Structure formats: C-alpha cells, structure tokens
Structure 1
Amino acid sequence: MTPKASILVIDDHPITITGYKTCLEDSGLSLHIDGACNCDEAINKLNNTKSNFFKMVFLDIKLPSSKTSKITGGEDLGLFIRKQFPETKIIVHTSLRDEQRITNIIKSLSPEGFLIKSDLSIKILSDSVITVLEGNKYYSDSVRNLSKQSTSYDDFFVDSLDMQIIYFLSKGELTKNLPRLVPLSMATIERRKKRLKTVFGIPYGSDKQLLDVAREKGYIL
C-alpha cells in the first residue's frame, strides 16, 4: 500500500486550514493534511517530522513574524524551508494581487505552485497538488497574468535583507539601530532604503511613506 503524502497547510486563518483539509481529503487523493497557523508552529512541525517529511507545504505569505523575529513573515519562512527542507515542494497561496509583489515572490522562492486565494476551487486545489506531486509546476491563470504584467519590475528584487530593513522599521526601530539587527553597514542600509523608495515610486519619501507603500504591496503586515 502506497503511504499517504504528507502536506502542511500554513495559514493564519484556521478556517482556511480546515477547508483545505476537507477538500483535499475528500478528493480521493492519498494525502495526510496537517496545519500550522504561524511561523513558529510551522517550523516546529517541519523540524519534528524529518523521518516522515512533508512532501509539500501550502505557504501563505501574509504571516506574522516568528516570536524571535528571525523569520519576518511568509516569504522568509519559504526561504527557511528551501534551505532546511530542500525536498519539500512549496505551493504559495495568497490573497495578494500586486504585480510587483507576485513577481518578487516568484524570483525569491521559485515555488512549484502559486495560487491566488480568490480564484480557488476544489478542482484548482486538487489539480495543483497532483501536478506538483508529479514533479511539474502549477501556476494559476491569475498568477501567470499578473506576472506577465510586471515586466517593468524585471530588474528589481526585494531580497531578504531588504525585507529585514522594512520589517524592523515597521516595528519602530530607528535607522541608526539597524546595523545591530541587519548584517549590513549603515551606508549600505541607507543605499538600500533609497533604492526601495525609488522603485516604490517615492524617491524623496519619508520612512513612513516607504512603510505605507510596502504595507500596501504586501511586503509587511
């Protein structure tokens, strides 16, 4: 008898986890579905199932940071999974629809699957799992259309260090304190902030304006 494939659904809304679990377990696929509502719970479950590792995770992007702030959100959690569990496939599922943000996630994580929550149906959910478990990629129509619209962002990428800068500023840290929190010099941090403001369309904007745009685009909560 073929063992069930284990899937971890990561989402801060328990009702979403329950819905995915019901739909996938009723689909006739041989699956075991588990859930995690935050970064810390997800890391704990991933670390404690190495002998029977999760073949796949559904990864929400808009997640609160871990308690230690070492993981700043969903995208950062995805990078952790890529590094620590390279055999685990990632399907991003998100409510975000900003072209720049979608493109950045694709560049950052290169997920095996990518779904927009508002487009989900039982068929799309089950098709994505089947396709990815078979070793292929599954990007929903909306994701493909949004990424096609984002050609103006091809040369721009918000990396994990940029994300840390934005994250700690959003937590009230002053720029002068960032070098003790982010492994960069003050001069490099200032250059990165300037570049972020330029690409976000506010080249002479304040840090508050930077955070407002970053929040609007879904880089921070």
Structure 2
Amino acid sequence: MPHILIIDDHPITIRGYKLILENQKIALSNEVQGATNCDQVIEIMNVPEELFFDVVLLDISLPASKDKQVTSGEDLGFLIRKKYPKTKIIVHTGLNYVQRISNIFNTLKPEGFLIKSDISANVLKIAVNKVLQNGTYYSEKIKDLLYPEDFEKIYIDSSNRKILYHLSQGYRMKDLPEHIQLSMPTIERRKKRIKALLGVPNGNTKDLLEVARKKGFI
C-alpha cells in the first residue's frame, strides 16, 4: 500500500479524501497522513527520501510559513520536488485562472492536476492509481485551461511571488530587501516585469495586488 500525504488547509477535505482512499482500497488508514499548513509539511520533511511519501496531494492556497519563506503550496511543492524527486505530486486546487494554472504547471510539472470542483470519489481513485502506475492525470477543466488556442504563457517564479506576498502584507518596497534575498534594483525590475505580465504595466501597487489576488497569485 502506498504512503500518501494530503495537504489542505481544510481538515474536512483531508478527512474526505482519506475516507475515499480507504473505501476505494487505494491506501490503508495508517498509511495516509494530513497536513493543514506549510510549517507542518516542512516539519514532516525532516526525513530521508526512503521514508517520505509516495504521493502528495497538494493544495496551493495555504497559509505562509512562519518565516514567510514559503508563501504557498506552489513553493512547498517546489521544495518537495527538490528534496524528494521520486515522490509523485497531485495538485488539487480551487484556482481556475489560466495564468495561475499555467504557472503552477510550469513550476511543478505535477503528475496529477485537479480542479476541486471536478473531484469525485471516482476521479480521485483514477488520478491516484494512474500516478502510482507512473502515468499522469489532468481533470477536464485543467485540460481546458492548459490547452486553449489563445493560451497565454506566463511564469512568475518563487522570488516574484514573495514580492507579491510581502506587498500584500503591507510591507513597503524599501523594506523588501530585508525579507527577500534580492537587491532593491532587482526587486524594482521584477515588480515592473510582474506588472507587465499581469496586464497592469502602468498601474500602482494597489492595482497590481488587486489583479494578483484575483488571479490567485496571493
């Protein structure tokens, strides 16, 4: 039986997924673990690769870590990918903006990708089984978002997301170098690039944060 970690900030979702996995005989109860925030997962990651999970069900909208260095499930997934390359990642998210989905896909290259509204007991069963068999599974809405004819490629990396996160928390631009390992000129250039990518090249910080929040980047 595989070891599975379910990451979601809603305990009821974790319980629901765990029950499905047990009822579908995909995993035993004691082989499924849950975590509701980034700090919990970072603590769980203090084990060697052979003791980590076979599959991680990863939510994207998670509370940031206490040190503010991991600001989302996307950052968390990147850490898991780096430390545990054999672990399969299935993203499950309520986000449905093409730019945000594209960004997650390009950052993590997940073996599975589900929009939460697509998830049923059968979909979860198929997704986990396919991934365990070294396949991939993308839900219908994910495929619609990733492959439209007018698909707009966009990539906002971890450092750019940290800039958005700290600005959204009320930090001033001049204070960001104290919290992000980048120089002030680099942060200013990155902010200008983010504004262009999100379609507000001439907007102020408030305009930028409104669009970033709407698209699920913060």
TM-score (norm 2): 0.94
CA distance in 1, matches of 2:27, 2:151: 42
2:10 to 10, 13, 21: 13
Report the alpha carbon displacement of residue 51 of structure 1 after superposing the two structures with TM: 4.8
Letter in 1 for 2:20: C
Question: What's the Cα RMSD here?
Answer: 1.5
Is the CA contact 1:24–1:126 (under 8 Å) kept in the aligned structure 2? Answer: yes
Letter in 2 for 1:160: S
CA distance in 2, matches of 1:133, 1:19: 20
Is the CA contact 2:21–2:27 (under 8 Å) kept in the aligned structure 1? Answer: no
Letter in 2 for 1:118: S
User: Does residue 218 in structure 1 map to residue 211 in structure 2?
Assistant: no
Letter in 1 for 2:122: K
| Secondary structure of residue in 2 paired with 1:161 | helix
Letter in 1 for 2:6: V
User: Does residue 113 in structure 1 map to residue 128 in structure 2?
Assistant: no
CA distance in 2, matches of 1:150, 1:88: 32
| Secondary structure of residue in 1 paired with 2:90 | strand
In structure 2, list runs of 5 or more residues that go unmatched. none
CA distance in 2, matches of 1:80, 1:150: 32
CA distance in 1, matches of 2:167, 2:149: 27
In structure 1, list runs of 5 or more residues that go unmatched. none
CA distance in 2, matches of 1:84, 1:150: 35
Q: Corresponding residue for 1:56?
A: 55
Is the CA contact 2:55–2:87 (under 8 Å) kept in the aligned structure 1? Answer: yes
TM-score (norm 1): 0.93
Letter in 2 for 1:163: R
CA distance in 2, matches of 1:18, 1:97: 24
Residues 1-221 of structure 1: pairs in structure 2 closer than 5 A: 4-31=1-28, 32-48=31-47, 50-149=49-148, 151-154=150-153, 156-220=154-218
| Secondary structure of residue in 1 paired with 2:33 | strand
Deviations 1:67-87 (A, max 9, x none): 111211111111111111111
Work out the number of aligned pairs and report it: 216
Deviations 1:148-184 (A, max 9, x none): 1375422x31011101111111111111111222222
Out of 11-20 and 80-89, give the one that drifted further: 80-89
Report the alpha carbon displacement of residue 48 of structure 1 after superposing the two structures with TM: 4.3
CA distance in 2, matches of 1:49, 1:120: 31
Moved over 6 A (4+): none
Report the alpha carbon displacement of residue 42 of structure 1 after superposing the two structures with TM: 1.5
CA distance in 2, matches of 1:108, 1:100: 12
Out of 33-42 and 184-193, give the one that drifted further: 184-193
Letter in 1 for 2:23: D
